[in-house]
Amino acid sequence: MDTVHYILDNWDYLLTLTLQHLWLVALAVGLAIIIGVPLGILIVRHKWLATPVLGIATIVLTIPSNTYAFAMQRKRAEAEHINTMSEMVAKIEQVRKTNPDKNWLLGLDLEFAGRSDGMKPLQEAYKMDLDRPQIRQMDPGLVYNAVRDGFVDAGLVYTTDGRVKGFDLKVLEDDKGFFPSYAVTPVVRKDTLEANPGLEEALNTLSAQLNNDVITELNKKVDIDHQSPQQVARDFLRSKQLL
């Protein structure tokens, strides 16, 4: 019944977020079709292009370093002196004891909530006691909006998502090291490197310029500022004198 009341009380907000997310999904699928289909046809007609095209595609897919984290509105986090996950858990417990009518709400995606390495072991690691209504499960793309608009107190995000910077969210430090770390490492076929002298050195130079803050800023320019990925990449390379 809590879920039904929740939906009825907030249907307009949920509808807005759902429509926003559907638009983003449609945009992503459209771009994938526009780029992927012509490349696929090109490779079929000119098989010798398969190695360099797939090699470059592999590099592009491995550049972002992305992991889970909890985030809050920056102004609120700073006002309440919350910088780490442990401090967030302490605040949740304080509110539970002193003002249970204002219990914290956490937004997270359905997958993480049910994963064997997801919410349950996270709660165990941080000794975080939550009642079922405190966990708001939603599409991962809607979590950012929910945190920004105060619909939930904190939400599970991807650390390099452009909306983290665009919505001025504060990523909380995972001070117990629960979430895995993903290294930014280009992976290239050996024959592609051999066929393209200088590619290895260029990729290593590029990798040295990338970290979570840089990737997040670049993603923001695409997701929030609506610049084209090509323009963002070109401007970045020029700013680093790599183009």
pLDDT in tens, 169-198: 999 999 998 987 766 677 788 888 888 888
What is the pLDDT tens value at each position of the chain, 243 positions in all?
A: 455 555 566 666 556 656 655 655 565 566 556 666 666 676 666 666 666 655 555 554 444 446 889 999 999 999 999 999 999 999 999 999 999 899 999 999 888 887 777 889 999 999 999 988 999 998 888 899 999 999 999 999 988 888 998 999 999 999 998 987 766 677 788 888 888 888 888 887 887 787 777 877 887 888 778 888 888 888 888 888 877
Taking only the tens place, the pLDDT of each residue in 82-108 is 999 999 999 999 999 999 899 999 999
pTM for the model stands at 0.60
Q: Bridge partners of 136?
A: 107
Distance CA 69, CA 200 (A): 32
Label the pairing between strands 154-158 and 106-109.
parallel
Rounded distance between C-alpha atoms, residue 97 and residue 22, angstroms: 39
